[in-house]
Amino acid sequence: MSLASVLLTVALAILGLSLLLVLGRFVLGPSALDRLVALDALVAVIMCGLMAQVALSRDSAIVPTIVAVSLVGFLGSSTVARFVGRKRSGGGS
Amino acid sequence: MTGLLDVVGAVLVLLGALLALAAAIGLLRLPDVLSRMHAATKPQTAGLVLVVVGAALLLRTSVDTWMLVLVGAFQLITAPVTAHLVGRLAYRSGGVREDLLHRDDLADREDDPAR
C-alpha cells in the first residue's frame, strides 16, 4: 500500500461520508427544491468518487462513464427545475 | 519522479474530497434553499475540479487527461446554469426566508410574473 493509495482510500472514505450527508439532506429536505439541490450535489459526489476510484485502480475504462454521468446529472436537474415550480404558476411560464 | 506525481495527485484528490465534505456539511446546516444552493455548487465544483486535476496527474495518459479536463470544464459550465434555475424558482416559490435577508433587490419589481 503505497502512500498515494492510502491517501486515495482516505479520500474515498471521506466521499462516502459526504454521500451520506447529502442523502440526509435529500431525505430531510422540506421542499422539492432542497431535494433538487441535494440531487445535484449527489451527482457531483458520485463523480468525485468515480474519479477517485479511477485514480486508485488506474484502469481508465471508467473515465467515459464519468463524462456521461455529468451530462445526465445536468440534464436531470435542469429538467426537474423546469417543472418543479409548475403547480404554483398554473402552467403559465 | 513518478512517485512524487502520484503523491501530489493523491493529495489533490484528498483536498477535493474534503471540499466535497464541506459542501455536504454546508448543505445540511444552512437555513434556506438559496444558501444551500451556494453550498451545493461552489465548494462542490471546486472540489470536483481538484479531483479532476489530481486524477489527471495520476493517470498520465493523454486520452484520459483530456477526457477528465472535459468533465471538469463541463461541470464548471453547468453548475452556474443549474444554480440559476434553482435560485429563480426558489425566489418565486417562497424558498427564501425573508427574515434572513438584509435587502431584497427584487422586492420592488413589477414585471415578475409570479407576483
Answer for the pair A47, B48: CB distance below 8 angstroms, yes or no. yes
**Least CB-CB distance to A92: which of B63, B64, B113?**
B113
pLDDT tens readout for residues B46-104: 999 999 999 999 988 888 899 999 999 999 999 889 888 888 888 877 767 777 777 77
Distance CA B36, CA B44 (A): 12
* Residue B110, pLDDT score: 62
Confidence grade of residue B111 (pLDDT, cut at 50, 70, 90): low
Whether chain B has a CB inside 8 Å of the CB on A8: the answer is yes
Distance CA B28, CA A26 (A): 9
Mean per-residue pLDDT of chain A: 87
Per CB-CB distance under 8 Å, the chain A contacts of B67 are: 63-64, 66-67
3-state secondary structure A32-71: HHHHHHHHHHHHHHHHHHHHHHHHHHCCCCCHHHHHHHHH
